[in-house]
Amino acid sequence: MNLEIIPKRLSLFGGWRIKYKNDMDNYVNHIPISKWAEDDRPREKLEIKGRHALSDTELLAILINTGTRNESALDLSKNLLQKAGNNLIELSKLCLSDMIKEKGIGKAKALTIMAALELGRRRNEAGAVQLDKITQSRQAYEIFRSLMGDHLYEQFWMLLMNRNNRLMRKIQISEGGISGTVVDPKKIFNIVLEFHASSIILGHNHPSGNLEPSEADKKLTKKIRDAGLLLDIDVLDHIIVGDDSYYSFADLGEM
């Protein structure tokens, strides 16, 4: 037996083991983001948990979009932020040539980041839009009348309000026939939660011109009001729109 070749064989075997371990470590450390758990992927996390749940690194990774062979978009995001001292203001000061010096950040990625940072700057400079404040049923009626006053078929709409009773959105819930329309309370509150509204005003038209609420109108109003109480969402009123007048559940103490 030639004893001199044994150490060489062991050395070769040991070298293979070291290389294998290094390769495995490299694989584990650079698993593509697409293979991560859904809650950990920046895009999915944004969709599921909302923008406030993401770190600066994760938000920047969404803009970067794709990584390199050895680094994910999240890795590139960390590297770029470190270049700017982990400060978004300093990051916004980087010019195109500064950004593309970072490995994995090409011209397209750099321009996307610069555009997003500029939008953020302009957003801070822009004055907040003054929303209409609704304090009376007549104001809600005027809005609903402009939306469905002349329609031949019954429609159901909802006004979404913020904490100060300022109008955020006008949302159509359904459209039916001459004498009625189907309204699903689950759809209403899904929309309310999606837009983070604090209160709502309901409204539908009676093409016949008769303002008197039906039993179905009363039951639906109570059902939605009670559901709002459980979710801490105020259902302020339900307006029935006629030809030139309206019926307010709140004005008549029926809310």
Residue 154 makes CB contacts below 8 A (sequence gap 6+) with 175, 176, 177, 178, 179, 180, 181, 204, 205, 206, 207
Q: Can you name the CATH fold of 31-125?
A: DNA polymerase; domain 1 (1.10.150)
CATH class of the region 137-248: alpha beta
Question: Among residues 156, 89, 76, which one has the least CA distance to residue 118?
Answer: 89
pLDDT tens, residue order, the chain (255 aa): 444 444 444 444 454 444 444 443 444 455 566 666 655 678 888 888 888 888 999 999 999 998 888 888 999 999 999 999 999 989 988 999 999 999 999 999 999 999 999 998 888 777 655 668 999 999 999 999 999 877 889 999 999 999 999 999 999 999 988 777 889 999 999 999 999 999 999 999 998 888 999 999 999 999 999 999 999 999 999 999 987 899 999 999 998
| Structure confidence at residue 176 (pLDDT) | 87
Inter-residue contact 161 to 236 (CB < 8 Å) = yes
Question: Among residues 192, 136, 200, which one has the least CA distance to residue 167?
Answer: 200
> Cα 216 to the chain's mean position, in Å?
34
Reported as half-sphere exposure (CB side, CA atoms, 13 A), residue 32 has a value of 7
In terms of DSSP bridges, do strands 246-248 and 234-241 run parallel, antiparallel, or are they unpaired? Answer: antiparallel
Q: Give the pLDDT confidence of 50-100 residue by residue, as tens digits.
A: 888 889 999 999 999 988 888 889 999 999 999 999 999 899 889 999 999
Helix (H, G, I), strand (E, B) or coil at 30: coil
Which residue spans of the chain are classified as CATH 3.40.140.10? 137-248
Inter-residue contact 159 to 200 (CB < 8 Å) = yes
Which residue spans of the chain are classified as CATH 1.10.150? 31-125
**DSSP per-residue codes, 56-101:** HHHHHHHHH----SSS-HHHHHHHHHHHTTT-HHHHHH--HHHHTT
Inter-residue contact 84 to 117 (CB < 8 Å) = no
Q: Give the pLDDT confidence of 10-30 residue by residue, as tens digits.
A: 444 454 444 444 443 444 455
Question: Among residues 250, 163, 239, 176, which one has the least CA distance to residue 202?
Answer: 239
- Alpha-carbon gap, residue 64 to 66, rounded angstroms: 6
